[in-house]
Amino acid sequence: MMLIRYITQIGRYFLMLKEIFSKQTKWSVMKKLIFKEIDDLVIESLGIVAFISFFVGGVVAIQTALNLTNPLIPKYLIGFATRQSIILEFAPTFISVIMAGKMGSFITSSIGTMRVTEQIDALEVMGVNSLNYLVFPKIIALLLYPFLIGIAMFLGILGGWMAGVYGGFTSSAEFVNGAQMDFIPFHIAYAFIKTLIFAMLLATIPSFHGYYMKGGALEVGKASTVAFVWTSVSIILFNYILTQLLLGA
Amino acid sequence: MIEIINLEKSFAGTKILKGISSVFETGKTNLIIGQSGSGKTVLLKSLLGIHTPESGKICFDGRVYSELEDGEKRELRTEIGMVFQGSALFDSMTVAENVGFPLRMFTKDNSAKIKERVDQVLKRVDLVDAHNKLPSQISGGMQKRVAIARAIVNRPKYLFCDEPNSGLDPNTAILIDNLIKEITEEYDITTVINTHDMNSVMEIGENILFLKNGLKAWQGTKEEIFKTDNQDVVDFVYSSNLFKKVREAYLKE
């Protein structure tokens, strides 16, 4: 029974995706909506992403340094490990899970509130494709999400460098040497490919839960929680699949 | 004119509308009344295209809604204005932006022309100083006026109102009722109002459809409702002592 419910929901999600891209809203109106979503979703997230990335980068460097107890292991591995963890996993995946909470709850609660207060019905009655009007600008705005992840990568490594150097764990030259060692440019491409897929999940799964919710204010809160759980689960699942496809093959 | 023919609609196996037929006339305020659960909201949402009836027809001036192509349905929807029970104004937009929304979406008018029309309708609903306020910054009565202004800004042929004066004080409720009636005559549109409010029935009910258990139980004018001996209507409309006395006084005259 539960399986049937999940399959139904997945089917409904894909039907929603189809509807998002049909009956486009007038470009003059859509343009303003896209800029508003860029502000709400991307620019508004810059602060928290910068803060988390910088300090987690620092923690990764310290943890690596503290675990390198063997004197034969060179100190430049601190820079190497920090770069690898930040670029491959922390910035694209864990920032996305955090964004599933921040952006996801914002998207679900704003669309859910519009549902509860009949604003979505008002759009439909006017002849507006409400899914295109509400969700399409979010998808387009989140095409800039890799920009946010790029900043997270830079600040994470910077945080690692500062914690490593000013914490007395390594020298600046050793850290930079490690950060540049055995660099594989495809890892950046891999990270950004993941990021774009996660951006699509971040825009659409919370929208789905907000758009199809039923009830009142309490249900808006519940829908936000459910949206966070499913977005996180999807990100982790897709992370595994994409890693296997892009790096494991 | 809107004609509904033998409309039926069920939810989860329970029949809510059981073959309703009626006519809502142009230039008149058509009221749908009935107890909670009688099918009023389902009927209104079916007229709006939010619910799809299982059988029956809805004709908008001869155009059968279910037989229209998608493009024609969208075109028809631009001819509809709707005032929702909770106003359903867009929170993130100012009053002027809310009112101008249908024009920005469906016309090629430039900003100056849109502003001119928005000013005109806001003046018509007696809201001249609220252009830049957000819906959260104005009272419930003002929100209803903004909702009415938004509903009529694109010069609709059909106006639907769901409980337009619920939650309003009696004075404001009467003002809103009269505003809807005046606008109906002024724009010569077909107005359908879903209401519980017996004041509205007495004030503006030109064509009243009474629903009971998903069936049309009675239809007539506000004058006829005083004289009717239909027990269901009498029990519903004259449930309060005040209205009983009003009816007695009317019948004595």
- Return the residue of B nearest to A121 by Cα: B50
pLDDT at B7: 93
- Residues in chain B with CB shorter than 8 Å from the CB of A126 are 77-78, 80, 82, 101-102, 105-106
Question: Would you place residue B196 in the very low, low, confident or very high pLDDT band (cuts 50, 70, 90)?
Answer: confident
Mean pLDDT for chain A overall = 94
A40 touches chain B (CB under 8 A): no
ipTM computed for the complex = 0.85
pLDDT at A146: 95
Calpha distance B182→A77 (Å, rounded): 80
Nearest to B214 by CA among B18, B50, B7: B18
pLDDT at B205: 87
Where does residue B213 rank: exposed (0-12), middle (13-18), buried (19+ CB within 10 A)?
Answer: middle
B12 touches chain A (CB under 8 A): no
Calpha distance B212→B32 (Å, rounded): 11
Tokens 């860029």 belong to: A38
pLDDT at A228: 97
DSSP state of B197: -
Q: Which fold has domain B1-79+174-253?
A: Rossmann fold (3.40.50)
In chain A, what are the domain boundaries?
A: 27-248
Q: DSSP letters along A104-145, please?
A: HHHHHHHHHHHHHTTHHHHHHHHT--HHHHHHHHHHHHGGGH
Q: B42-66 pLDDT, tens per residue?
A: 999 999 888 899 999 999 999 999 8
Question: Would you place residue B242 in the very low, low, confident or very high pLDDT band (cuts 50, 70, 90)?
Answer: confident
Phi, psi torsion values for B20, nearest 5 degrees: -90, 135
Q: For residue B88, give the nearest of A26, A36, A121 by CB distance.
A: A121
User: A118, A132, A134: which to substitute to probe chain B, counting the most B Cβ within 10 Å?
Assistant: A118
User: B45, B105, B166: which to substitute to probe chain A, counting the most A Cβ within 10 Å?
Assistant: B105
pLDDT at A249: 67
* Residue A149: pLDDT over 90: yes
* Residue A105: pLDDT over 70: yes
* Residue B239: pLDDT over 90: no
Amino acid sitting at position A104:
G
pTM for the complete prediction? Answer: 0.87
A124 touches chain B (CB under 8 A): yes
